[in-house]
Amino acid sequence: MTEKQRLTPDRTGFTLVENGTRHIYWEYFGQGEREVVVLLNGLAMATPSWYRSVSDLQPDFDVLLYDYLGQGKSSQEDEPYYISHFAEYLIRIMDELGIERVHPVGVSYGGFIAADLGRLFQDRLHTLTLSGILLTRETQFQMYQDLSLLFYRSPDPGFEIYTHYLYEKTFGEAFARRVYGDRLERMRVGFYEAYHGREYCLTRITEAQNPFFANIDNDPEAYRHIHTPTLILTGDQDRAIPPWQQAKLLDILPNARQIMLPGSGHMVYMERPDIFWPAVRAFFAAKSVNFSL
């Protein structure tokens, strides 16, 4: 498998949040002359996780990355986190950098932040791209969250066992076959070493989903007011958030289009980059769901 070039950021910085008591780390790729794409981290990611994907967007777009609380170089206090705050932090970064609008791309957990950007700040968005999320209460998703939290809170070797289990549910068959063995083990060890001893970060980031879904319970119409053009990219082998759950987004978001990625599991941008990146680039250029691939 050919390794893609890893680009490095042109600018980095920290933005103070929560009345100056916490800091959010960000990275910017580009010179500020093009529209900006924000690649939103998944639950266990940090900004370097995206480095090989930046080249799929440049030179046509600048790219902005940032770590949520509990991730990478951002503050990592053991305290409640909120998805709506993660969205607000991006707006703070945009204001500091003089960015008026962005194209957010939210895959997996990052899709929740993207959805709240649409709910709270759609006037700051060109488009909205979602993958591997849901905006409805689903018992199977709650069961998956409960199991993950149980592993995070378990004494050793509970978390290490979780890192073996995780990828079986994450990838589709074709990608799992390609990486099974040494590459998958490197991914697993990297995840384990990043969070062993700091499992509370994963707990807090995961628990932030509770107020997110509580808000949906309190206001079922909250996301129906998002009129930003929205692209939903769904792996047809996604077992973390199955396609039938993601299809419900079309009943909620009034200006949305769904594209199925055959043979892909949950991590669509990694598993089918041949479809994912051309689709988002065409979508960004059109700023409409009516685009051709």
The predicted model gives 161-184 an average pLDDT of 96
Q: Under 8 Å CB-to-CB from 281, ≥6 apart: which residues?
A: 56, 57, 60, 61
Q: What is the pLDDT of residues 184-232, one digit of tens each?
A: 999 999 999 999 999 999 999 999 999 999 999 999 999 999 999 999 9
Q: What pLDDT, on the 0 to 100 scale, is given for residue 4? A: 63
Half-sphere exposure of 157 (CA within 13 A, CB side): 5
**Predicted confidence (pLDDT) per residue in 9-22, tens digit:** 999 999 999 999 99
DSSP codes of every residue in 105-174: EEETHHHHHHHHHHHHHGGGBS-EEEES--SS--HHHHHHHHHHHHHHHSPTTHHHHHHHHHHHHHS-HH
Q: Which domains does the chain have, with CATH numbers?
A: 11-137+209-286 (3.40.50.1820)
Contacts of 228 (CB under 8 A, 6+ apart): 118, 122, 125, 126, 127, 128, 255
Is the pLDDT at 153 greater than 70? The verdict is: yes
pTM over 0.85: yes
Structure tokens at 217: 């319970």
The pLDDT, as a whole number, for residue 148 is: 97
Structure tokens at 143: 């069961």
pLDDT tens, residue by residue, 22-51: 999 999 999 999 999 999 999 999 999 999
Which two tokens mark 85? 């705050």
User: Per residue, what are the HEC states of 61-86?
Assistant: CEEEEECCCCCCCCCCCCCCCCHHHH
